[in-house]
């Protein structure tokens, strides 16, 4: 007789608690054969008359973040190796060939579309490429539904044919929402093509679209199956978009990585000029910022812990970004928030004047704004109130404590915010 293979099976146990029952259920790998299941499994107690249950379950989440230059070189199978052909069914005896539904940012399609089509053609993949126009203003459910309509028309096996999303943070967020909703969740692969996507939007679990003038008001946590990071896409990015991505790198530097800050301070100008393609510094900057980001996300993927280092720069910026649309990019709004937070730190003596000036100067080196005409103390207070709601009733504002560390505060007052805005004006003119 063949040795039984490890089986994935659900185990449930019924625990008696004071006056109620708790049903604990977990998926685990067992080495036993199915025939050998023990008598204690399943629902064993049918005698207790109770009307309360607790369902508890666990699911292991894992996804790969893979750096791969030349992802669409025809001899590279990495992208299509994720997933599998549809399996055979009683009606369809042989597995069908590979099929993929691909959503691509219209601008990226204009530059790389031919290469992408050649790639799938060379691997005989039946493909539908949906090219969509995206912007922060159209990061809406309407765009999500356009993606879902496309998937429905093409038809995919939700187990074997992951959706492929190629584009910047906006495209990835839209497809993420669509994939999470389609048939209650369909696997998808992210291929970020902007710096913001590579260091931030592409590598976490969050999806989201804007709703009712609020940033990312609709969305969920739905990690991709795999993320492929190909930095050669950055060669065609508009300089302003590149700098936009540097904002999130600077964020990681300021909250936890002084060495990364030094690299940005020293090489920022050159890194922009060479679009992070050539130097060792470019490699180190990307590696440190992606690693730092994942280090923060991995233990807190569902954000159970609301004091998040990566929320630095994201206290005042969501409201500012939405009010200023389309004049501020996400990273630009984040930088203005980081500048204001730095000024708050200076007011509180958490950073020295020298440190505050270094931070502001590095923002300028990275060609990022530190102020905006809409950025009044009144609007910032309104933004803070909205964020307090988001952070379960507390401000939880990450403020720089020197360079490479933060502290969380909960007691910023209106007057202090106005004082910080005045200090920022002062710092910005130096």
Ligand X SMILES: NC(=O)c1ccc[n+]([C@@H]2O[C@H](COP(=O)([O-])OP(=O)(O)OC[C@H]3O[C@@H](n4cnc5c(N)ncnc54)[C@H](O)[C@@H]3O)[C@@H](O)[C@H]2O)c1
Long-range contacts of the stretch 115-124 (C-beta < 8 A, 24+): 115/72, 116/72, 116/166, 118/72, 118/74, 119/72, 119/73, 119/74, 119/79, 120/80, 122/74, 123/74, 123/77, 123/80, 123/98, 124/97, 124/98
322 is a contact residue toward ligand X (CB under 6 A):
no
Piece of 106-114, 255-263, 279-287, 356-364 that binds ligand X (CB under 6 A): 106-114
196 is a contact residue toward ligand X (CB under 6 A):
yes
Q: Contact with ligand X (CB under 6 A): which of 170, 343, 346, 384?
A: 170
Q: Single out the catalytic residue among 10, 18, 28, 206.
A: 206
Piece of 164-172, 253-261, 355-363, 413-421 that binds ligand X (CB under 6 A): 164-172
Q: Contact with ligand X (CB under 6 A): which of 180, 244, 319, 341?
A: 244
Piece of 54-62, 82-90, 103-111, 377-385 that binds ligand X (CB under 6 A): 103-111
Here's the x/- map for ligand X, 108-147, by CB under 6 A: it reads as x--x------------------------x--x--------
Q: How far apart are CA 35 and CA 4, in angstroms?
A: 10
Contact 229, 202 (CB under 8 A): yes
Catalytic (active site) residue 18? no
> Which of 198, 199, 209 lies closest to 175 in space, CA to CA?
209
167 is a contact residue toward ligand X (CB under 6 A):
yes
> Which of 229, 273, 287, 291 lies closest to 70 in space, CA to CA?
229
Q: Establish how many alpha carbons lie within 13 A of residue 212's alpha carbon, considering only the half-sphere containing its beta carbon.
A: 2
380 is a contact residue toward ligand X (CB under 6 A):
no
222 is a contact residue toward ligand X (CB under 6 A):
no
197 is a contact residue toward ligand X (CB under 6 A):
yes
Long-range contacts of the stretch 8-15 (C-beta < 8 A, 24+): 9/34, 9/37, 11/41, 12/41, 12/42, 12/43, 13/40, 14/43, 14/44, 14/45
224 is a contact residue toward ligand X (CB under 6 A):
no
Residues near ligand X (CB under 6 A) are 105, 107-108, 111, 136, 139, 167-171, 173, 193-194, 196-197, 200-201, 204, 206, 208, 216, 233, 236-237, 241, 244, 330
Catalytic residues: 206
């Amino acid at each position: 007789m063949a040795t039984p293979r490890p089986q994935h099976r659900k185990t449930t146990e019924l625990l008696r608690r004071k006056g109620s029952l708790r049903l604990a259920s977990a998926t685990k790998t067992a080495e036993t054969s199915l025939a050998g299941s023990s008598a204690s499994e399943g629902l064993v107690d049918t005698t207790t008359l109770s009307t309360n249950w607790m369902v508890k379950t666990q699911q292991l989440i894992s996804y790969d973040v893979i750096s791969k230059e030349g992802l669409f070189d025809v001899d590279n199978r990495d992208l299509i190796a994720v997933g599998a052909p549809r399996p055979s069914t009683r009606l369809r005896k042989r597995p069908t060939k590979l099929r993929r539904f691909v959503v691509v940012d219209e601008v990226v399609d204009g530059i790389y579309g031919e290469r992408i089509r050649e790639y799938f053609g060379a691997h005989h993949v039946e493909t539908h490429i949906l090219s969509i126009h995206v912007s922060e203003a159209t990061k809406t459910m309407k765009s999500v539904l356009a993606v879902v309509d496309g998937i429905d028309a093409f038809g995919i096996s939700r187990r074997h044919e992951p959706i492929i999303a190629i584009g910047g943070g906006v495209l990835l967020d839209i497809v993420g929402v669509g994939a999470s909703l389609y048939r209650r969740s369909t696997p998808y692969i992210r291929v970020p093509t902007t710096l913001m996507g590579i260091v931030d939007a592409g590598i976490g679990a969050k999806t989201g679209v804007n709703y009712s003038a609020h940033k990312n008001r609709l969305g969920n946590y739905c990690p991709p199956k795999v993320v492929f990071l190909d930095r050669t896409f950055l060669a065609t990015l508009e300089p302003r978009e590149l700098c936009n991505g540097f904002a999130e790198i600077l964020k990681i530097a300021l909250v936890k990585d002084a060495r990364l800050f030094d690299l940005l301070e020293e090489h920022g100008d050159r890194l922009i000029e060479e679009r992070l393609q050539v130097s060792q510094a470019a490699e180190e900057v990307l590696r440190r910022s992606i690693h730092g980001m994942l280090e923060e996300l991995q233990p807190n993927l569902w954000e159970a812990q609301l004091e998040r280092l990566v929320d630095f720069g994201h206290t005042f910026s969501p409201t500012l970004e939405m009010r200023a649309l389309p004049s501020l990019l996400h990273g630009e709004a984040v930088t203005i928030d980081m500048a204001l937070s730095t000024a708050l730190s200076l007011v509180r003596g958490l950073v020295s004047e020298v440190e505050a000036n270094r931070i502001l100067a590095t923002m300028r080196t990275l060609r990022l704004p530190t102020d905006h005409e809409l950025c009044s103390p009144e609007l910032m207070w309104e933004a803070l109130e909205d964020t307090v709601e988001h952070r379960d009733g507390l401000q939880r504002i990450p403020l720089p404590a020197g360079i490479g560390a933060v502290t969380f505060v909960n007691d910023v007052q209106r007057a202090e915010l106005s004082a910080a805005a005045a200090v920022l004006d002062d710092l910005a003119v130096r």
